[in-house]
Amino acid sequence: MADLPIAAVTRVAKNAGAERVGADASEILVQKTEEFLGELVREAVKLANHAGRKTLKEED
């Protein structure tokens, strides 16, 4: 699985209110974010396939 940029995930955490984010926390946030996005996309792919499409759309 390709890693999300740590800086991007850290920026999201800071935008959510974190003043500082430790390196270990950033790595865990990246890992959990990738897991969440992976599951989200798998479900969207199932919906697109069920609709007879190969392209993901907003409604998926």
Residue 1: both structure tokens together: 């699985």
User: What mean pLDDT is predicted for residues 4-8?
Assistant: 94
| pLDDT exceeds 90 at position 1 | no
Taking the domains of the chain in order of start, what are their residue ranges? 6-50
User: Where does the pLDDT of residue 2 fall: very low under 50, low under 70, confident under 90, or very high at 90 and above?
Assistant: low
Give the per-residue pLDDT at 44. 98
Residue 18: both structure tokens together: 């974190």
User: Where does the pLDDT of residue 58 fall: very low under 50, low under 70, confident under 90, or very high at 90 and above?
Assistant: very high
> What's the rounded Cα separation, in Å, for the pair 4 and 31?
8
pTM: 0.80
35, 43 Cβ separation under 8 angstroms: no
Over 18-37, what HEC string results? CCCCCHHHHHHHHHHHHHHH
